[in-house]
Amino acid sequence: MRLTPRFLLSAAAPLAALPGRAVAEGMPQLHFKDPLLQGQVVWGAIIFIIFYLLLSRSALPRVADVIKARETRIQSDLDLARRARKDADQAQKELCEAREKASEDANATIQSIRETTRDAIRVQAEETAARLEAEIKNAEAQIILSRNNALNSINEVASSTAVTLAERLIGTADQKAIAAAVERAHAAGAEHVS
Amino acid sequence: MASGSTIDALGQFELHPIFGSFGEALRFSQAPLYMVISSAVVLAFLYVGMKPKAVVPGRLQAAAEVSYDFVHGLAVDTIGEKGTSFFPFIFALFFFILAGNYIGLLPFSYTFTSHIAVTFALAITVFIICILTSLRFQGMSFFKHFMPEGAPVALSPILVPIEILSYISRPISLSIRLFANMVAGHVLLEVFASFTIMLAGLGVVGDALAVAPLVLNIALTALELLVGLLQAYVFAILTCIYLREAVDH
């Protein structure tokens, strides 16, 4: 074929003639008496119904099951995580409370020990002081008693010494007079002393 | 096919019996064959895709789940809660048409959605389901919708026939929209493909020129991919809208 005006015309003609041809020969889709066209509709109905039944009874529920299973699993995992977090929070709270309580208990124990110790020390100190006081008093009484005893025995010793001296000197001794004299001297001495 | 200097753009829509005498006897042409193929492809897509049943889906399973979620969302969002029971039908409708449109784009295949008889059969199915649903959910008050509320009674002789006519025209517009889109696309592809063959017959100059319609055809194929999806979507969403009216009003 050559690129002649005649050819160009003939090439363009079908485009222009298309509607005309369609009317002339008719679109195959409009040959409604064509048994194949009628059969196509019947077959189409059968195929579409089978397609629909397979989809609705088998294929689509399968997809739905998978999607639902995934949602359920994600939900349960989320629940699990949420529960774990709640447990952890609870545990932490309990730990904090326990720590606070232990701290309070320890403080109370320290306080009570401190008080008990202080009381014990005070009581002990008081007891010691009282004992010392009593011992001092006892000692003082002992001293006074010893002193008195000593003072009392002075007269006797002096009398017996005077009697012995008098007997040696003069041969005789008036024991009563000597005792009286000693008594007087002692009294005078005591006055002097005191 | 291009034969000589004429273009037979409509020959591609002719039906021929297949499988020999079986096809002739049972009136089984390429159209039902491609219906079977389309349905099988969609079912295989779902069955094979969902086979792993993985919690973390692979590509094919994710695709199957996305298509499920997409149509489910379409049905439930448009129709409402009662849309769940219509969901398998919407899914079947959408993917039957989509697979038909797309498989028809493959070379040497056949587009059954380019037949008004098929699209009208689908549309009339939708129409009948809508009427039955309306009668079930609304009873006789369904017929009140043919008289617009608040309109003067005097106008009813005009309004009621108009409303009935517009209601009846739904399956017609639904079917012609899909049919015309498919036919137009395939006629264009055929015409430009024929140009390529005709120009290639002209020698060196023709070979160079023949590239132009070929490039155009590539662009047209892309456009047809869009149109095929869009028409399936339009068919499905209009069905949903009609069903919502049937359920809701």
Beta bridge partner(s), residue B2: B7
The dihedral over CA atoms of B219, B223, B225, B231, expressed in degrees to the nearest 10, equals: -170
The tens place of each residue's pLDDT in chain B, 249 residues long, gives 444 457 777 777 777 778 877 777 778 888 888 899 999 999 999 888 888 877 778 888 888 889 999 999 888 888 888 878 888 999 999 999 999 999 988 888 888 888 888 999 999 999 999 999 888 888 888 787 787 778 778 887 888 888 889 889 999 999 999 999 999 998 898 888 888 888 888 877 777 788 888 888 899 999 999 999 999 999 999 999 998 888 876
Band of pLDDT at residue A190, cut at 50, 70 and 90? low
Residue B150: phi and psi, rounded to 5, are 80, -5
Yes or no, beta carbons of B43 and A34 under 8 Å apart = no
Q: A152: how many CB neighbours lie within 10 A of its CB?
A: 10
State how far the Cα of B32 lies from the Cα of B118, in Å rounded to an integer: 10
Polymer length in residues for chain A:
194
10 Å CB burial of residue B182 (0-12, 13-18, 19+) is buried
| Nearest CA among B133, B99, B143, B165 for reference residue B239 | B133
Polymer length in residues for chain B:
249
CB nearest A28 (choices: B13, B121, B187): B13
Yes or no, beta carbons of B43 and A28 under 8 Å apart = no
Give me the numbers of helices (H) and strands (E) for chain B, helices first please. Answer: 7, 2
User: For residue A15, is pLDDT > 70?
Assistant: no
State how far the Cα of B79 lies from the Cα of A99, in Å rounded to an integer: 60
| Nearest CA among A40, A30, A59 for reference residue B36 | A40
Domain boundaries, chain A: 150-193
Beta bridge partner(s), residue B3: B6
| CB-defined contacts A:B, below 8 A | 152
Chain A residue with Cα closest to B45:
A59
State how far the Cα of B122 lies from the Cα of B109, in Å rounded to an integer: 21
Yes or no, beta carbons of B117 and A40 under 8 Å apart = yes
* A78 to chain B, closest Cα gap in Å: 15
Of the residues A46, A63, A72, A76, the best mutation for testing chain B's interface (the one with the most B CB atoms within 10 Å of its CB) is A63
Q: Which amino acid is at A114?
A: R
* Contact of B118 with B15, CB cutoff 8 Å: no
Collect all residues of chain B within an 8 Å Cβ-Cβ radius of residue A50.
Answer: 39
pLDDT digits (tens, 9 = 90+) for A50-86: 999 998 898 888 888 888 888 899 999 999 999 999 9
Helix (H, G, I), strand (E, B) or coil at A170: helix
The CA distances from residue A129 to A120, A133, A139, A143, A176, in Å, are: 14, 6, 15, 21, 51
Q: What pLDDT is recorded for position A192?
A: 64
Yes or no, beta carbons of B116 and A30 under 8 Å apart = yes
| Nearest CA among B139, B105, B101 for reference residue B119 | B101
* A104 to chain B, closest Cα gap in Å: 52
Helix (H, G, I), strand (E, B) or coil at B29: strand
Yes or no, beta carbons of A41 and B118 under 8 Å apart = yes
Collect all residues of chain B within an 8 Å Cβ-Cβ radius of residue A44.
Answer: 31-32, 35, 112, 118, 121
Band of pLDDT at residue A181, cut at 50, 70 and 90? confident
User: For residue A151, is pLDDT > 70?
Assistant: yes
Yes or no, beta carbons of B117 and A32 under 8 Å apart = yes
* A5 to chain B, closest Cα gap in Å: 13
State how far the Cα of A145 lies from the Cα of A139, in Å rounded to an integer: 10
Band of pLDDT at residue A191, cut at 50, 70 and 90? low
Q: What pLDDT is recorded for position A18?
A: 46
Q: For residue B106, what are the contacts with CB-CB under 8 A and spacing of at least 6?
A: none
